[in-house]
Amino acid sequence: MFFDINNINHAYLVVSKNTEYAYSQVKEFIEQILESKDLQNNVDYRLIESEDGKSIKINQIRDMQSDVAIKPIKGDRKIYVIIDADKMNEQAQNCILKTLEEPPLYTSIFLITAFPEKLIDTVNSRVKR
């Protein structure tokens, strides 16, 4: 997986049958962007994944959107990673569209999935694959 630290996009779709490996690659890139190896304690980083193992719900996306509105605290960027993005229910996918269409300049969102076909077309069209 190749990312360009000099040209950071607002949204990426990372497709891999091995989402754990994909996340490890994305994580390395994010560590470079945020200049931090301690992402777990970085206020400008947020990991979103299914809370019940089945789906990512609209309230999780709404929480993310509330956080997106707040400027970065430690650095110049805020980063959000959604693991198994295909688990976003249709409501959650429709909800995230506004953020994908008009993100603040300081925001990057990474959608990681093994099943991009489960994402609605409008989500797929607003991210760099």
Reported as a single tens digit per residue, the pLDDT across 14-61 is: 999 999 999 999 999 999 999 999 999 999 999 999 999 899 999 999
Q: Flag whether pLDDT at 13 surpasses 70.
A: yes
Q: Flag whether pLDDT at 122 surpasses 90.
A: yes
Residues 111, 82: Cα–Cα separation, whole Å: 5
For residue 2, what pLDDT is reported? 61
Rg (CA), the chain: 13
Calculate the average pLDDT of the chain.
Answer: 94
For residue 92, what pLDDT is reported? 97
Q: What is the pTM of this model?
A: 0.94
Q: How many CA atoms lie within 13 A of 18 on its CB side?
A: 5
Q: Flag whether pLDDT at 89 surpasses 90.
A: yes
Under 8 Å CB-to-CB from 20, ≥6 apart: which residues? Answer: none
For residue 7, what pLDDT is reported? 80
Residues 109, 116: Cα–Cα separation, whole Å: 15
